[in-house]
Amino acid sequence: MNNKRIFLFLLLMFSLAGCTTLSVVSDYDRDFDFSGFHTFRWPAENEGIRKGDVLVDNPLVYKRVQSAVNRQLDEKGFRVTGSKEADFIMYAHAGIKKQKSYHHNFGIGVPFGPYRWYRPWWGPYGGYTYVSSYEEGSLVLDVIEARTRELVWRGVATRVVREYRTAEAMQRDINEAVRKILEDFPPGADSGVSSQ
């Protein structure tokens, strides 16, 4: 019985480990020419920020995201500016959604019947369903063309939310998410949607 519990625990851990990978997808306006983008800015305090956004509710995390985005875009040759004359506005949003994962175990077959060793019938034994709840977090980066105020590019990273023991560990995950989101920004002319 103890071995069965250990096996079930390991099975659950391996199935949950598959859920912790970072999923990234991006999309953009195929008709838009990104070659005119050189400078960007962040939105003003009351410029389109929504209440209830995880980043609005936690300004320290918002600053970490801004820092990671600034660093990644700087490496790509974009310059952050406080000027209203920037080419694009970078918005960052985040949200957390409760999810459920269903794990089914249909049990094992056990021989029984009057002739169980001669053409036995294998019946089910020990089947159950295990439901686990978890929180899935998404970080969304939007690129808004400053003059027209049109969304021209969006990147989204999604991962199971976890607790952090240090700010450095959180920053590492934020850096990884931002790096992967912005990996294909600005987009090339060969595709309209990228997924990793």
Whether 98 and 135 have beta carbons less than 8 Å apart is answered as: yes
Residue 121 backbone phi and psi in degrees, to 5: -100, 125
Q: What is the pLDDT of residues 160-194, one digit of tens each?
A: 877 888 889 889 999 999 999 999 999 873 444 44
Q: Please name each of the domains of the chain with its CATH number.
A: 20-96+139-188 (3.30.160.670)
Q: Give the Cα separation of 130 and 124 in Å (integer).
A: 17
Coil, helix or strand for 99?
strand
**pTM metric for this prediction:** 0.70
Q: Can you give the pLDDT at residue 149?
A: 93
Q: Tell me the C-alpha distance between 109 and 125, whole Å.
A: 6
pLDDT digits (tens, 9 = 90+) for 81-126: 988 889 999 999 988 777 777 666 665 555 555 555 555 555 555 5
Give Cα 62 to chain centroid, integer Å. 16
b/e per residue 56-84 (b: at least 16 CB within 10 A) = eeeeebbebbbebbbebbeeeebebeeee
Mean of pLDDT values over 128-147: 82
